[in-house]
Amino acid sequence: MSPLISVIIPVYCESSCINLSIDRIKSFASALGMMSATEIIVVDGDPEKSTLKVIHDPDIIKKASPAGRGVQMNIGARAATADVLLFLHADTILPANAFRTILDVCRDKNIVAGAFDLVIDAPHPGFRIIEKTATLRSRITRIPFGDQAIFIKADCFRKLGGYKPIALMEDVDIMLRLRQKGYRIRFVSDPVITSARRWKKEGMLYTTIRNWILQLLFYIGVSPEKLKNYYRFL
């Protein structure tokens, strides 16, 4: 049986969590009877291939890549053989029924892509505000971010030319292009769980405000290369 969903995981120094992520994906697929319908592709942007070296599962498709999430995801997409591409961060946990849900969504010929609502893996009440804000923002703008486990029909992804090899905002850019062409996407209310490590490391308020500023600058036309420089100083 040819795979129906290709799970593409771009990584950079994720050796501490990649095997757990793979095991969890395969466990969910097995529970749904979809092991043969799911392929997993890990694309490592580290020149030392540090994450690929620790993967012990022989079924995983392993690809080396220049660093850059957009570039890495494009390399993964070129290796994919399924009709639906799921782009998943290594520290994001899918809901248990994710694969069945994705296929159900993609059966609608009018829908070309989708994403999940977001839960952050930390108890602080401030994260509940961030989650609700993210859900409201994505529903209003119809633009999910990469940590919401974006999935796209492969033929549509290729017609768009894939992700742009830009320094930041590759997820926002491809969703803007989808919207500009009038394509429809669907949001899944059953959420993914993403790690709070970025917010904990840099500070919850600081990280949130910085991200909002970067998004606003991107929307008004500031180039991703300039945003990358701002990212270092904001």
Percent of the chain at pLDDT exceeding 70:
97
pLDDT, tens only, 120-139: 999 999 999 999 998 999 99
Span 83-112, average pLDDT: 96
Fold of 5-197: Spore Coat Polysaccharide Biosynthesis Protein SpsA; Chain A (3.90.550)
Structure confidence at residue 228 (pLDDT) = 82
pLDDT band at 11 (very low <50, low <70, confident <90, very high): very high
pLDDT, tens only, 22-58: 999 999 999 999 998 999 999 999 999 999 999 999 9
C-alpha count within 13 angstroms, C-beta hemisphere, residue 219: 9
Enumerate the domain spans of the chain.
Answer: 5-197
Structure confidence at residue 210 (pLDDT) = 86
Query: Residue 84 in contact with residue 151, Cβ under 8 Å?
Result: yes
Percent of the chain at pLDDT exceeding 90:
79
Structure confidence at residue 1 (pLDDT) = 63
- 55-69, 170-184, 196-210, range with the lowest pLDDT: 196-210
Span 199-214, average pLDDT: 86
Span 206-216, average pLDDT: 86
Mean pLDDT score across all residues of the chain: 93
Span 83-106, average pLDDT: 97
Span 208-220, average pLDDT: 87
Structure confidence at residue 231 (pLDDT) = 66
- How many of the other CB atoms lie within 10 Å of CB of 194? 25
Query: Residue 118 in contact with residue 40, Cβ under 8 Å?
Result: no
Structure confidence at residue 232 (pLDDT) = 57
Alpha-carbon torsion (186, 189, 195, 197), positive or negative? positive
Structure confidence at residue 34 (pLDDT) = 93
Give the pTM: 0.94
Structure confidence at residue 95 (pLDDT) = 97
